[in-house]
Amino acid sequence: MNTGHSSNLRFVVVTGASGSGKTQALKCLEDLGFFCVDNLPPALLPKFTELCVQRGEEVRNVALGIDIRERGFFEDFTSNLAHLKETGYQVDLLFLEAQDEVLVRRFSESRRPHPLLPQQPIIDGIRLERLRLFEVRSQADRIVDTSEFTVHDFKEWVTRHYSDRDQGQRMKVTILTFGYKYGLPYDVDMVFDVRFLRNPHFVQALNPLTGEHEEVQQYVLETEEAKTFLSHVNELFVFLLPLFERENRSYLTIAIGCTGGRHRSVTIAVRLQDMLGQLGYQVEIRHREIQHATIPITPS
């Protein structure tokens, strides 16, 4: 095999549970300029790679949808994937999954049977597939649970992780605020728990407001604990963010959590946006608990 262009050829291999969004992921990657092939038999991976190398700079980013539920494909898949990595290609195995009840709902909404057990209840097919994919999941570079993703959320996630950053372009940072009582967010790079800060929830005049209001910000930030925390976080980001950029990261997501996701987390997010902006980063804030949309992902 000609490996002269191996360092320039990048593979994203998409696999996982039926109904978890594999087809949607390939569509998003195609929009990002990836050459996409769905349902490629694992045994054809070496020949396909050779053809991509022969195309040179014309093909640099490749996304493959591979179905390896059949046990006969597993050995071919693992050996060929290992060979690609050993040869020097950039390979990212993306494994998509979702909670059982979410997958059942998606199949029911689309009126499709489960492909493994089309004549049996959907949940039986989901459980069998989960068992067959166990070993593949253990080898994944990224495991993403799409249960709480909307179509727009998922497209944003794919874009954030797989779009190429132009030379000299700074990494984009998203700060996500959330409430611990509603559960941890999926797929973030860092999580900060700020429940140790003074809580405006118990102040009658401040309770109806959010951390976007100046009165709440003053109440949270006037303590020594808040000032020291922000100082340490600023030093941490001055050190860490250039290292993430060095790894060619296009996006970074930082989650800030408090109890309800309305006061302390929002206050800290607003302050961090200012701090990171002064460091030259483009920063977007998203508040999970005070603004939320729901558009489900359909089965793939």
Is the Cα torsion angle 22, 24, 26, 29 positive or negative in sign?
negative
Rg, C-alpha atoms of the chain: 22
- The confidence score (pLDDT) of residue 294 equals 38
User: Which CATH fold topology does 6-162 show?
Assistant: Rossmann fold (3.40.50)
**What is the spatial distance between Cα 193 and Cα 197, in angstroms, rounded to a whole number?**
9
Structure tokens at 238: 């001055």
- The confidence score (pLDDT) of residue 248 equals 67
Closest CA to 116 of 291, 298, 285, 299: 299
Structure tokens at 243: 């290292």
**What is the spatial distance between Cα 10 and Cα 92, in angstroms, rounded to a whole number?**
8
**What is the spatial distance between Cα 210 and Cα 265, in angstroms, rounded to a whole number?**
10
Show the CA angle centred on residue 74, arms to residues 47 and 148, nearest 5°. Answer: 105
Q: Which stretches does DSSP call E strand in the chain? A: 10-16, 35-38, 61-65, 90-97, 142-145, 172-179, 190-193, 251-258, 282-287
Helix (H, G, I), strand (E, B) or coil at 153: helix
Contacts of 226 (CB under 8 A, 6+ apart): 197, 198, 220
H or E stretch covering 237: helix 224-246
Considering the entire predicted model, what is its pTM? Answer: 0.61
Write out the chain's pLDDT in tens, 300 residues.
Answer: 444 444 578 899 999 999 999 999 999 999 888 999 988 888 888 888 888 888 777 778 899 998 766 556 667 788 888 888 888 888 889 999 999 999 999 999 888 898 888 899 999 999 999 998 888 898 898 999 999 888 888 888 888 788 776 555 678 899 999 999 999 987 788 999 999 999 999 999 999 999 999 999 999 999 999 999 999 999 999 999 998 887 767 788 999 999 999 999 999 999 999 999 999 888 999 999 986 433 344 554
**What is the spatial distance between Cα 143 and Cα 177, in angstroms, rounded to a whole number?**
22
What one-character DSSP code corresponds to residue 189?
Answer: S
**What is the spatial distance between Cα 66 and Cα 25, in angstroms, rounded to a whole number?**
12
**What is the spatial distance between Cα 20 and Cα 184, in angstroms, rounded to a whole number?**
20
Q: Count other Cβ atoms within 10 Å, centred on residue 124.
A: 13
Structure tokens at 290: 């005070």
Q: Where are the domains of the chain?
A: 6-162, 172-287
